[in-house]
Amino acid sequence: MLWVGSQLTIGYAVAPVVFASLERVVAGGIAAQLFMIEGIIGVVCGVLLLGLSNVLARRGAVGYRRLRWILAAMLLCVLVGYFALQPYMNELRMAAMSAGMDVASSPYASRFGMLHGVSSVFYLVESLLGAWLVWLLPSARVSAAVARG
């Protein structure tokens, strides 16, 4: 719940408000920091939840077998989005800043836009998988209780 809740809050509530309230360059820097924190939360929660679901599945909780695949896909989205694409986006942002301009008006704008679009798709997929995970959790707990009882 922490992972999915923080992801939905930062991505779909906080970031739009930041961009609506501040100038684009400042908002982009703040959003980048927020998304990096969200990436760390995602990796920590993803690894812990994947480990826990593996333990529960090995103990016979059949409902958690399906959840492992969702968790693995979410973790993959985090790793690609935050730790493969974000460093390139930050590199382009820094190169534009060192040239004395923001990334939107720099020669890097099209490449940054493409990376931002791909990153947004991974974020959306991760969000949808997270909502699906939250939806399935009660049925997984019931399956585990039935398997034990």
Domain ranges of the chain: 2-142
d(CA 42, CA 78): 6
What contacts 5, CB < 8 A, 6 or more positions away? none
d(CA 146, CA 144): 5
pLDDT score of 57 = 86
Work out the mean pLDDT of the chain and round it to a whole number. Answer: 90
What is the four-CA torsion angle of 124, 128, 134, 136, rounded to 10 degrees?
Answer: -160
Lowest mean pLDDT among 35-44, 46-55, 116-125, 132-141: 132-141
What would the pLDDT profile of 2-59 be if each residue is shown by its tens digit? Answer: 899 999 999 999 999 999 999 988 998 899 899 999 999 999 999 999 999 999 888 8
**pLDDT at position 123 over 70:** yes
pLDDT score of 148 = 56
pTM for the predicted model, two decimal places: 0.86
pLDDT score of 29 = 87
pLDDT score of 38 = 94
